[in-house]
Amino acid sequence: MSQGKTFTLNTGAKIPLLGYGTWQASPGEVGQGAYEALKVGYRHLV
């Protein structure tokens, strides 16, 4: 997965604009999905 566009935080840190959304998932559903997202290159989990 390419880095793509980033957003600069007020601390100067940069985060990817594209993230893997987990906010609507139930706590028991997030673990495996987040693990697989990290394996394929996601670095911004929200």
Whole-number pLDDT of residue 9 = 94
Asked, for residue 18, whether it belongs to a domain, the answer is yes
Report d(CA 14, CA 5) in Å as an integer: 10
Asked, for residue 46, whether it belongs to a domain, the answer is no
Look over the chain and give the mean of its residue pLDDT values, rounded to a whole number.
Answer: 86
Report d(CA 25, CA 13) in Å as an integer: 27
Domain that includes residue 19, residue range: 6-39
Whole-number pLDDT of residue 44 = 84
> Could you give the number of structural domains in the chain?
1
Average pLDDT over residues 11-27: 88
Asked, for residue 44, whether it belongs to a domain, the answer is no
Give Cβ neighbours of residue 40 (< 8 Å, ≥ 6 apart).
1
Report d(CA 34, CA 45) in Å as an integer: 7
Asked, for residue 1, whether it belongs to a domain, the answer is no
10: pLDDT confidence band, cut at 50, 70 and 90? very high
Whole-number pLDDT of residue 2 = 54
Report d(CA 25, CA 36) in Å as an integer: 15
14: pLDDT confidence band, cut at 50, 70 and 90? very high
